[in-house]
Chain A
Amino acid sequence: MNEAREQVLATIRRGLKRGPLEGTRRAELEARLAQPPRHLIPARGQGSPSERVALFIKMAEYALATLDRVTDEQAIPAAVAAFLARENLPTEVVMAPDAALAGLPWESQPLLKIERRAAQDGDKVSITPAFAGIAETGTLLLRSGQDGPTTLNFLPDTHIVLLPAGRIVGSYEDGWDLLRAAGEAMPRTVNYITGPSRSGDIEQTMQLGAHGPLRLHIVVVAVN
């Protein structure tokens, strides 16, 4: 459909009364793409690290996520097991094949039956790491990859996300900087997740668990 492409671009240029961009203007736009300027960032997304953690928790709760705080990453498996017991949830969990997650003392929780893979139909609980948390709206940033199957974020009824407090940034822009600093190409999928799945399509009454998880539980790991 090269013909279509040329015609669309030609019509746009006719409207703009110019040919393809060249020279200085083009160089300016190239520079804008290479060094993306930031727009106004709301003041609430520019707090200190401890303010960011507090704001993240407040906003994630506002979006109807549940949260736990642990002060030692060795305590994560126990916190996960306690959450599942408290909520009467199954102890079969599917975990992202992530090296850092694998290094935690899961054997301390013999009741948990853990599989490390992508999600399948029928999985009830998943555990994934977050790449970052964004304080301004209580949003998790997750990315796909060898160690991060996207299906874990959507198929199971309950999604448990582990988030180191040091990975909580203020704004979306800070999140992108973190991802760019990781130095890889864009992952196939970057998910912003703000609370559990919901729908208001029937009479605008909000119901949780539309197609994605009914519960989003975030364990914030704040090492003192």
Chain B
Amino acid sequence: MQATSLAFKRNAIAALNNPVLQKALNNIKIGFVRKRAAAVAKLPEFGLLRDAGRDLRNHVLDHLDFYLERFEAQVIESGGQVHWARDAAEANQIVLDICRSVNARLVTKGKSMVSEEIGLNDFLEANGIRPVETDLGEYIIQLRHEQPSHIIAPAVHLNREQVADAFQAHHAPYGFTERHEEPRALLDEARQVLRQQFLQADVGITGANFCVAETGSTVIVTNEGNGDLTQTLPRVHIALASIEKVVPTLEDVSLLLRLLARSATGQELSVYTTFSTGPRHPADVDGPEQFHVVLLDNGRSSMIGGEFQDMLRCIRCAACLNHCPVYSAIGGHAYGWVYPGPMGSVLTPQLIGIEVAGQLPNASTFCGRCEEVCPVQIPLPKLMRHWREREFERHLTPMPTRFGLGVWAFFAKRPKLYRRAASFAAWALRRLAGGAGRIKRLPLAKGWTAWRDLPAPPGRTFQQQWAARREQRP
């Protein structure tokens, strides 16, 4: 997909000014954040499991070649096929070739962020194959020709009225002409429309939360059951996975499952966790006749051994999005590509280039909540800082920022001048705030004060206060 990350600031301002979006985003705070906290509180071992999860993911990355080769061998052993793709174009072509080999016209899809990353739907459609998303959120945004705004709740930016509009515009051919706004009625309508697609599809495409080296299984985690109908009913099942998704054993998956749902939706476990190994066995009465795994690299292998390797520990729970003050204020679309929020701010520059995505690592208050809630303890703020340094080194930082840093450096290198300027600024801001303690309007800083107040300094600088304190000491 075409990235709009370069326009991040414009996107963010538009998002802040969009009352419909703001209403929808409010659901995240009362939903995911509270539920995660409750689930974590119910499991005393959660902290220790996070340590184990981090160590396990590090172990995998340090031996990624070995586990990928073993996974491949086990898939083949169980009758499946593995296809390696260096980039999006190769992955799309592999999927298309498989679809063509069985004369597929209709493809159902379970939720897959890798599919979003490679732009699979557009590619299939351009080649005469109809892809139908079956996760309710993904289906809604497919009807609206939108991108997901969240990695586990793709339609979280929408309200029920917008869903009703989309269904009304598209469901008449299926006999649904009445407009409903109740979530129950909307869900029932989607269930009936999509049921027919499941039954007619020639190929089912899912993502993979994990690839198990021990058994050659791919694992999906869903709540709706759409992924299971997608991969059980058609003749062919294709699982799309990025290379870092490999996990050694079923015991290792067990550990990560204890972290994933609790971090994501605050459930003890998602409703459906499904392990798929090869095609149907000769005596089986249902299931697909072919099982394919597409392993996508797309820039990840070059993160191994470098300063961004830690990012590959990610298990895509979205806790960092849900707890991010920036994400909560502007939603996912403002980030301009597939992966939003803190994890996206680190991953996106790697996948599409810092020239395009340079603003994303700057879209952070560095409050550190993302790292605190990450189930595998990825140091997201540190990684964003690495990107900022690279951006600065490559002279990609915007002029006003470079100018500001230059001004700051000028003063910082002249301590006397710095102290005088700082004490003037503290005094002036204090005066400007009056008795309020916060500044609602500031000349030349509308970009800040339009959306939030500036806390007023106490009137004297830290150094002045420190000096005064030392004098008072007996």
Residues of A within 8 A of B (CB): 1-2, 4-5, 7-9, 11-17, 20-21, 26, 29, 32-33, 36-40, 42-44, 59, 62-63, 97, 117-119, 121, 136-139, 144-146, 149-151, 153-155, 171-173, 176, 185-205, 207, 209-213
Q: Judging by beta carbons under 8 Å apart, are B276 and A176 in contact? A: no
The smallest beta-carbon distance between A194 and chain B, in angstroms, is 5
| Partner-contacting stretch, out of B191-199, B330-338, B369-377 | B191-199
The smallest beta-carbon distance between A65 and chain B, in angstroms, is 10
B64 at the interface (CB under 8 A from A): yes
| Partner-contacting stretch, out of B45-53, B340-348, B388-396, B416-424 | B45-53
Residues of B within 8 A of A (CB): 24, 27-28, 30-32, 43-45, 48-49, 52, 56, 62-70, 78, 83-86, 90, 94, 134-137, 140, 153-156, 158-160, 163, 183-184, 186-187, 191, 194-195, 198-199, 213-217, 223-226, 228-229, 232-233, 243, 248-255, 257-258, 265, 267-281, 283-287, 295, 297, 301-306, 309
Q: Judging by beta carbons under 8 Å apart, are A200 and B223 in contact? A: yes
With A121-B199, A146-B283 known, 15 other A-B pairs at CB within 8 A are A1-B84, A21-B65, A33-B214, A40-B49, A43-B45, A59-B268, A144-B281, A146-B284, A149-B286, A153-B228, A194-B271, A199-B224, A201-B155, A202-B158, A202-B187
Contact of B85 among A4, A194, A201 (CB under 8 A): A4
Contact of A40 among B52, B186, B213, B276 (CB under 8 A): B52
Nearest chain-B residue to A171 (Cβ)?
B254
Bound Cα distance A17, B285 (Å): 48
Could you say which of A15, A171, A211 has the most chain B C-beta atoms within 10 Å of its C-beta? Answer: A211
Q: Judging by beta carbons under 8 Å apart, are B134 and A211 in contact? A: yes
Q: Judging by beta carbons under 8 Å apart, are B191 and A189 in contact? A: no
Contact of B304 among A12, A153, A176 (CB under 8 A): A12
Bound Cα distance A176, B254 (Å): 10
Q: Judging by beta carbons under 8 Å apart, are B251 and A37 in contact? A: yes
The smallest beta-carbon distance between B184 and chain A, in angstroms, is 6
Chain B residues within an 8 Å CB radius of A191: 228, 272-275
Q: Judging by beta carbons under 8 Å apart, are B86 and A4 in contact? A: yes
Q: Judging by beta carbons under 8 Å apart, are A193 and B272 in contact? A: yes
Contact of A16 among B228, B272, B295, B304 (CB under 8 A): B304
Bound Cα distance A15, B67 (Å): 15
Chain B residues within an 8 Å CB radius of A8: 68, 84, 86, 243, 295, 297, 301
Q: Judging by beta carbons under 8 Å apart, are A11 and B304 in contact? A: yes
The smallest beta-carbon distance between A151 and chain B, in angstroms, is 5
A-B contacts, 7 listed (Cβ < 8 Å):
A4-B84, A5-B84, A8-B243, A29-B63, A194-B268, A199-B187, A202-B160
10 smallest CB-CB distances across A and B, nearest first, come from A212-B225, A15-B305, A15-B304, A210-B224, A36-B249, A201-B137, A11-B301, A172-B254, A192-B273, A204-B31
Bound Cα distance A200, B198 (Å): 21
The smallest beta-carbon distance between A38 and chain B, in angstroms, is 5
Q: Judging by beta carbons under 8 Å apart, are A210 and B250 in contact? A: no
Q: Judging by beta carbons under 8 Å apart, are A189 and B183 in contact? A: no
The smallest beta-carbon distance between B293 and chain A, in angstroms, is 12
Chain A residues within an 8 Å CB radius of B265: 200
Given contacts A40-B52, A63-B268, A137-B269, contact A151 B66 (CB under 8 A): no
Q: Judging by beta carbons under 8 Å apart, are B183 and A202 in contact? A: yes
Bound Cα distance A4, B159 (Å): 43
Nearest chain-A residue to B230 (Cβ)?
A211
Q: Judging by beta carbons under 8 Å apart, are B232 and A32 in contact? A: no
Chain B residues within an 8 Å CB radius of A4: 84-86, 90, 297
Q: Judging by beta carbons under 8 Å apart, are A188 and B284 in contact? A: yes
Given contacts A36-B249, A118-B285, A173-B251, contact A192 B272 (CB under 8 A): yes
Could you say which of B56, B94, B155, B258 has the most chain A C-beta atoms within 10 Å of its C-beta? Answer: B258
Nearest chain-B residue to A198 (Cβ)?
B223
Q: Judging by beta carbons under 8 Å apart, are B268 and A176 in contact? A: no
Chain B residues within an 8 Å CB radius of A13: 65
Q: Judging by beta carbons under 8 Å apart, are A211 and B194 in contact? A: yes
Bound Cα distance A153, B233 (Å): 12
Nearest chain-B residue to A37 (Cβ)?
B251
Given contacts A192-B274, A210-B225, contact A9 B69 (CB under 8 A): yes
Chain B residues within an 8 Å CB radius of A192: 269, 272-274
Nearest chain-B residue to A195 (Cβ)?
B271
Nearest chain-A residue to B184 (Cβ)?
A207
Nearest chain-A residue to B137 (Cβ)?
A201
Could you say which of B27, B154, B187 has the most chain A C-beta atoms within 10 Å of its C-beta? Answer: B187
Nearest chain-B residue to A9 (Cβ)?
B65
Bound Cα distance A154, B223 (Å): 12
Chain A residues within an 8 Å CB radius of B309: 15
Chain A residues within an 8 Å CB radius of B280: 144, 188
Nearest chain-B residue to A174 (Cβ)?
B254
The smallest beta-carbon distance between B338 and chain A, in angstroms, is 18
Q: Judging by beta carbons under 8 Å apart, are B224 and A212 in contact? A: yes
Q: Judging by beta carbons under 8 Å apart, are B228 and A210 in contact? A: no
The smallest beta-carbon distance between A39 and chain B, in angstroms, is 4
Nearest chain-B residue to A134 (Cβ)?
B269
Chain B residues within an 8 Å CB radius of A17: 305
The smallest beta-carbon distance between B31 and chain A, in angstroms, is 4
The smallest beta-carbon distance between B84 and chain A, in angstroms, is 4
Chain A residues within an 8 Å CB radius of B184: 207
Q: Judging by beta carbons under 8 Å apart, are A151 and B232 in contact? A: yes
Q: Judging by beta carbons under 8 Å apart, are B153 and A190 in contact? A: no
Chain B residues within an 8 Å CB radius of A202: 136, 140, 155, 158, 160, 163, 183, 186-187
Contact of A200 among B31, B268, B303 (CB under 8 A): B31
Nearest chain-A residue to B80 (Cβ)?
A188
Contact of A187 among B243, B277, B285 (CB under 8 A): B277
